[in-house]
């Protein structure tokens, strides 16, 4: 099968290509001799795609237009979306999610990029640093959240112990005081830099060394080469990392659920946890409507970030 | 999850058909003899007595999602033991098989999980749930109604305490579950901490408790061990229930959404917040994690904790507890707003067995299991194993009484004289109550919400679905 496609591709590039092969390469029609092969090869993917994406997507959209608790179903049109717009808690969750994403983009990401650029210089001990930085990334969010719940604990938490050791007030309730809860939850992921570091290091390794050699001959310092050569050439990968980071925070659930349950008074509530609450109340249609809003936000973010960073374009 | 069991069950049905054909052919030659060893099961509600069964048929297999042995949960562990004993007693006739319950002890997630199973017609034949979950699950139409079984066996029905089924019954007289427990919940106190603070006895009124808390706080100890959820809500229920009309709110009003205009609730809530503001709670009292309340108490750092009798085997006598702690403790009904107005939380059915069995054969097997579970010896064994008391009226011998946990027995005895009796806040509240409380209580206690705002929002969030 692959031989047939290969030969078809090859022949299409030849000057003596046939009419039928040209049509195959242009993707307009599948030649008669290949239709069954193509159908068979596509079937598993289509079945999986249909089962795990198309069908759930249809269910998502259909039920978002209904009052549905898994048992009874009644069509309500756009009522769920109207209710979302008028629900203060939704906007609070949206604002919180935006802040989580902002912390990710403006704190976590720069930290990771700078760290990756430094480690890419292969400074002494860079392999050990890379390992240490990558470890939190392989720990599950739930375990990470539990650990940080203990770090923030008022009675025996590490943070208050450290503050007390340097003479600062050591009795603050970080997670259940509305003034600090959101920042405390956001702060848990700030040092999860492993993935960003690894990606940046890999991209740095692919940069043509002659650029640095030429800059060195011109007398450029390390800082200048990093600023004017490395950073611009990381544009593509930074755009991708921004995308991954924002989408990751858009789907933030486990850390918030375990650490605060969204409280106090919804101060840490994320959009996905808000949808989950609706789900546990049996308002599955409403939860799915929130899911569609999150999906729409995700698509908007993908398009915006790709355009802003011209992701995929040659540097 | 149940596929393998279903396959086995399907294979079993084939064997049953074959066995029935054989039994039928034998029966034709001996149909006049009632002692002929027929393999047919007794009518529903009819006890099998010794559990003897025909070897010609496969046993009726029922599944149990709350019977897996557990090194940490004494209730699951005891269920497991009962399952083994039942299988032994009814060998060849009925067989209970344990199935996985990945969300065995969680809250909202367990309910959603069971709801999906119910909608798919795959609810286990036996699973332990609480009354709030029963209220939700009965709407799926998948629960077995035990009313007919109870009506068919008046002795079994009469063995339960009056009101034992109140939390598990339906609007039209259905009985959706069989309660496994009936507990009195009081307040443990550490006599050594009280003595160090110059307090000679357990406070009889809430005012006395407040005064004692100040002395205890001054002595550098925590007065009330709280977790922001279970133990906090027990105390809240005590504060409400020991007022005239408080029990009515905890049994009916709490399922509505009007909390703010109930004076008993306002008074209790403001008292609880006042104690928080005065520093009577452990500093991590909002986490919603029970261990954050239990740990300071079992380490001898907190003077009072509201909890059930199961805390003795689970925490107080655990290896992690302070050495000699048990001997320092007392266990009493709640203080009251007046000295003669004390009360106790009494709940039947906090742990209740429901069933998704649909076929008459399985329903019969389930009924037999329920009867076995609620028989006096098994119930007494449950109390010994878990510390939790029984919903059936068991006449205990002196020897059995001597085996009971003295702290819990003392509470049960004292509670009979208490003026007020009421359920805890989770008993009749909507399924969303716990999450709403966990979300709002910290903000209220820290002064970010007024009492009216807190109670209004609590009632609405607990009862209503988002967007509705």
Model confidence band, residue B56 (pLDDT cutoffs 50, 70, 90) = low
Contacts of A267 in chain B (CB under 8 A): 443
Q: Give helix A235-250 / helix A88-103 axis angle, nearest 10°.
A: 150
The pLDDT assigned to A312 comes to 72
Model confidence band, residue B466 (pLDDT cutoffs 50, 70, 90) = low
Model confidence band, residue A207 (pLDDT cutoffs 50, 70, 90) = very high
Range in A24-33, B114-123, B217-226 the model is least confident about? A24-33
The pLDDT assigned to A63 comes to 93
Rounded mean pLDDT of B399-408? 90
The pLDDT assigned to A298 comes to 94
CB contact under 8 A, B292 and A149: no
Mean residue pLDDT across chain B: 85
The pLDDT assigned to B34 comes to 32
Query: Which residue out of A280, A286, A287 would a mutagenesis test of the B interface target, given it has the greatest number of B Cβ atoms within 10 Å?
Result: A280
Could you report the per-residue pLDDT of B345-396, keeping only the tens digit for each? 998 888 899 999 999 999 999 999 999 999 999 999 999 998 888 899 888 8
The pLDDT assigned to B235 comes to 98
Through-space distance between the first and last CA atoms of chain B, rounded to whole angstroms: 34
Is the pLDDT at A148 greater than 70? The verdict is: yes
Query: Which residue out of A63, A85, A256, A263 would a mutagenesis test of the B interface target, given it has the greatest number of B Cβ atoms within 10 Å?
Result: A263
Model confidence band, residue A230 (pLDDT cutoffs 50, 70, 90) = very high
Is the pLDDT at B20 greater than 70? The verdict is: no
CB contact under 8 A, B432 and A283: no
Model confidence band, residue B33 (pLDDT cutoffs 50, 70, 90) = very low
Could you report the per-residue pLDDT of B406-459, keeping only the tens digit for each? 998 899 888 888 999 999 998 888 878 888 999 999 999 999 999 999 999 999
Q: Regarding predicted confidence, which is higher, A173 or B109?
A: A173
Is the pLDDT at B24 greater than 60? The verdict is: no
Could you report the per-residue pLDDT of A68-84, keeping only the tens digit for each? 877 778 999 999 999 99
Tell me if chain A has a CB within 8 Å of the CB of B172: no
Model confidence band, residue A15 (pLDDT cutoffs 50, 70, 90) = very low
CA distance B456 to chain A (A): 13
CA distance A298 to chain B (A): 22
Calpha distance A59→B299 (Å, rounded): 52
pTM assigned to the model: 0.77
Model confidence band, residue A41 (pLDDT cutoffs 50, 70, 90) = very high
Tell me if chain B has a CB within 8 Å of the CB of A263: yes
Rounded mean pLDDT of B331-356? 93
């Amino acid at each position: 099968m692959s031989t047939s496609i290969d030969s078809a591709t090859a022949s299409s590039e030849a000057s003596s290509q046939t009419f039928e092969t040209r049509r195959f390469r242009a993707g307009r029609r599948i030649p008669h001799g290949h239709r069954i092969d193509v159908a068979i090869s596509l079937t598993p993917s289509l079945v999986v795609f249909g089962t795990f994406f198309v069908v759930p997507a249809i269910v998502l959209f259909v039920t978002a237009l209904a009052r549905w608790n898994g048992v009874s179903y009644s069509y309500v049109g756009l009522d769920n979306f109207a209710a979302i717009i008028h629900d203060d808690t939704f906007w609070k969750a949206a604002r919180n999610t935006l802040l989580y994403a902002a912390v990710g983009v403006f704190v976590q990401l720069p930290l990771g990029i700078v760290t990756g650029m430094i480690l890419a210089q292969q400074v002494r001990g860079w392999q050990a640093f890379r390992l240490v930085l990558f470890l939190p990334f392989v720990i599950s969010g739930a375990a990470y959240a539990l650990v940080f719940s203990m770090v923030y604990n008022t009675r025996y938490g590490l943070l208050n112990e450290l503050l007390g050791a340097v003479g600062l007030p050591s009795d603050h309730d970080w997670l259940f005081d509305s003034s600090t809860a959101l920042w405390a939850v956001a702060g848990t992921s700030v040092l999860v830099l492993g993935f960003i570091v690894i990606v940046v290091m890999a991209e740095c390794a692919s940069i043509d060394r002659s650029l640095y050699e030429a800059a060195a001959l011109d007398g450029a310092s390390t800082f200048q080469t990093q600023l004017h050569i490395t950073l611009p050439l990381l544009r593509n990968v930074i755009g991708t990392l921004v995308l991954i980071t924002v989408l990751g925070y858009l789907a933030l659930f486990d850390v918030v659920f375990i650490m605060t349950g969204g409280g106090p008074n919804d101060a840490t509530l994320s959009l996905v946890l808000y949808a989950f609450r609706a789900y546990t109340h049996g308002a599955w249609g409403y939860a799915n409507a929130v899911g569609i809003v999150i999906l729409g936000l995700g698509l908007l973010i993908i398009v915006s970030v790709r355009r802003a960073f011209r992701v995929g374009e040659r540097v | 999850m149940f596929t393998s069991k279903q396959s086995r069950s399907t294979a079993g049905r084939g064997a049953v058909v074959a066995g029935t054909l054989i039994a039928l052919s034998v029966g034709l030659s001996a149909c006049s003899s009632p002692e002929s060893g027929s393999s047919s099961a007794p009518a529903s509600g009819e006890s099998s007595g010794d559990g003897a069964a025909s070897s010609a048929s496969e046993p009726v297999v029922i599944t149990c999602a709350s019977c897996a042995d557990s090194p940490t949960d004494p209730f699951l562990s005891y269920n497991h033991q009962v399952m083994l004993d039942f299988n032994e007693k009814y060998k060849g006739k009925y067989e209970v098989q344990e199935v996985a319950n990945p969300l065995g002890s969680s809250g909202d997630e367990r309910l959603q999980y069971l709801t999906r199973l119910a909608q798919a017609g795959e609810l286990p034949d036996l699973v332990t749930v609480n009354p709030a979950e029963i209220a939700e699950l009965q709407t799926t139409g998948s629960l077995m109604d035990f009313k007919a079984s109870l009506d068919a066996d008046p002795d079994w029905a009469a063995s339960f305490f009056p009101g034992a089924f109140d939390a598990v019954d339906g609007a039209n007289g259905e009985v959706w579950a069989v309660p496994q427990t009936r507990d009195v919940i009081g307040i443990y106190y550490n006599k050594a901490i009280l003595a160090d603070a110059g307090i000679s006895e357990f406070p009889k009124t809430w005012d006395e408790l407040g005064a004692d808390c100040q002395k205890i706080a001054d002595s550098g100890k925590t007065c009330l061990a709280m977790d922001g959820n279970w133990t906090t809500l027990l105390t809240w229920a005590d504060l409400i229930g020991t007022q005239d009309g408080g029990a009515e709110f905890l049994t009916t009003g709490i399922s509505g959404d009007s909390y703010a205009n109930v004076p008993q609730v306002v008074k209790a809530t403001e008292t609880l917040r006042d104690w928080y503001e005065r520093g009577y709670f452990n500093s991590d009292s909002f986490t919603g994690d029970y261990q954050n309340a239990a740990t300071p108490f079992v380490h001898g750092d907190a003077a009072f904790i509201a909890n059930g009798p199961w805390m003795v085997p689970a925490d107080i006598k655990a290896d992690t507890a302070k050495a000699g702690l048990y001997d320092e403790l007392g266990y009493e009904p709640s203080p009251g707003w007046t000295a003669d107005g004390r009360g106790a939380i009494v709940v039947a059915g906090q742990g209740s067995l429901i069933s998704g069995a649909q076929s008459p054969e399985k329903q019969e097997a389930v009924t037999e299991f329920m009867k076995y579970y609620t028989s006096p010896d098994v119930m007494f064994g449950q109390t010994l194993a878990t510390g939790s008391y029984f919903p059936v009226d068991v006449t205990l011998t002196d020897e059995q009484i001597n085996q009971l946990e003295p702290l819990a027995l003392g509470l049960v005895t004292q509670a009979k004289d208490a003026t007020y009796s009421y359920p805890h806040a989770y008993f009749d509240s909507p399924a969303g109550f716990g999450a709403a409380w966990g979300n709002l209580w910290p903000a209220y206690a820290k002064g970010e919400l007024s009492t009216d705002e807190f109670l209004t929002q609590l009632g609405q969030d607990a009862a209503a679905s988002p967007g509705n």
